[in-house]
Amino acid sequence: MTGITTAGNVTKMVDKHKKNNDVKILRDNPKQVVGIIGGGIFGILTALEVAKKGYSVIIFEKEKDVITGASLVNHCRVHMGYHYPRDKKTVTQSLKAKTPFENFFGKSIVRKINNYYMVAKEGSMTDHRDFLSFCKKTNLPHKISWPSGLKISKEKIAVSVKVPEKVFDANRKRDFLLKKISREKNITLLTDAEVVDIKKSNDGFVVSHGLGENKKITNCTALVNATYSAINHINNLLGLPLQTFQYELCELPVALAPWKGTGWMIMDGPFFSAMPFGYSKNHLFYDVELSVLERTIGKTPNFKFGIDYYDTKKRRLERFNKYKEKWKYWIGEIKGCRYLYSMYTTRVVLPKVEKTDMRPTIIKELMPGFWQIFSGKVTTSVPGSIEISNKIDRFLKRKS
């Protein structure tokens, strides 16, 4: 995958826990082991919360590193709900998660940022008066203001508001979480450990992971499916009913922009946004029409082409030029933006929710001792991990 930035100490920290995939149970009671399938932000935070309660935790991550998928490849907003005026539940979840997320990640939060939301005069699914009313009703702070240092085509914009919504630095966030894991004796992190089979047992679950000579078997009393785009794949191993999702193969171009410290979004329709990429000087671009390379609805993400097809120099530049051609009528400085690289991920959303664009985080116990996390917004990972760890704790106490 071209352009995925990596922190220099990630491999070192992962190796410290991996120990050649030998699973070492560190708790006095080896019968109560919690397995977390998926090393994204929801999986890592859940592992930390469960470990706090004294249980041994094993994280199974199929990739070589953790936090490389959608946990890294997103706009890194500390969501407050501004661009979900059509779904109150997503706004409520975002607002409740904001402060816990900011407090937990501390220095990973980029607090000095000028952030703007603009509503187009034409083509928006939300009228600018309705948007201002929505902000007022939900107590979302906003001030009518135009971005400085940007040549906005004001004749195309009905309203522009400055908001206190922050962003986080994805690489600092990953470093921070890996350090937290390295200090936690109750957590064993396994990378290159794809879960290939799960069997129900009297004591819980028998998890087979790894391939070939590296294949291992681990007994877990409880399991959490935190695999995001592979939710159905893992559930299928247990013979559970599969859910229908909308899968989107997304590209986020990273570019060097002439403006600094400013994020902006034109909403609510076939528009676009550019956000600072953490503490770097670069910006993440997103376009509702151009950034989704493929979209499919079903039980699995059956895309026509894989990332390798799209990730060629010629195709990347052709797509970025389409961004510039489309955006130039709205943002004068787009002509001065220089393409750097692209990041890719598979985004998973509920199907047929175009009317509301809802993005909820949903935690379900699909069978005794087996939970699934359907993640909506990254920021809900902090309260979500606390919620699921409490559920696991109650389950294990009843079982013991």
- Same domain for 152 and 250, yes or no, is yes
15 within 8 A of 178, measured Cβ to Cβ: no
Question: Per mean pLDDT, which range of 19-28, 118-127, 178-187, 233-242 is the poorest?
Answer: 19-28
Look at residues 70, 59, 62 and name the one whose alpha carbon lies nearest to residue 4. Answer: 70
Q: Report whether pLDDT(23) > 60.
A: no
Which pLDDT band holds residue 18 (cuts at 50, 70, 90)? very low
CATH number (domain holding residue 249)? 3.30.9.10
Question: Per mean pLDDT, which range of 44-53, 253-262, 373-382 is the poorest?
Answer: 373-382
Question: Per mean pLDDT, which range of 111-125, 158-172, 207-221, 225-239 is the poorest?
Answer: 207-221
- Same domain for 161 and 278, yes or no, is yes
- Average pLDDT value for residue range 99-125: 96
Task: Say what the pLDDT of residue 225 is.
Answer: 98
Question: Distance between CA 103 and CA 17 in Å, rounded?
Answer: 26
- Same domain for 124 and 252, yes or no, is yes
Task: Say what the pLDDT of residue 356 is.
Answer: 67
- Average pLDDT value for residue range 96-103: 96
Share of the chain above pLDDT 70, in %: 92
Q: The pTM is what?
A: 0.90
Question: Distance between CA 107 and CA 172 in Å, rounded?
Answer: 8
Number of domains in the chain: 2
- Average pLDDT value for residue range 348-359: 81
- Same domain for 300 and 376, yes or no, is no
Which pLDDT band holds residue 30 (cuts at 50, 70, 90)? low
Question: Distance between CA 74 and CA 344 in Å, rounded?
Answer: 9
Residue pLDDT, tens place only, 265-297: 999 999 999 999 999 999 999 999 999 999 999
Q: Report whether pLDDT(353) > 80.
A: no
Which pLDDT band holds residue 11 (cuts at 50, 70, 90)? very low
Question: Distance between CA 101 and CA 105 in Å, rounded?
Answer: 6
**Would you say residue 81 lies in a domain?**
no
**Would you say residue 75 lies in a domain?**
no
Q: Which domain holds residue 263?
A: 101-167+245-349
CATH number (domain holding residue 200)? 3.50.50.60
- Average pLDDT value for residue range 67-80: 86
- Same domain for 182 and 229, yes or no, is yes
- Tokens 């990273």 correspond to 254
349 within 8 A of 248, measured Cβ to Cβ: yes
Task: Say what the pLDDT of residue 17 is.
Answer: 44
CA distances from 232 to 21, 104, 179 (A): 25, 30, 30
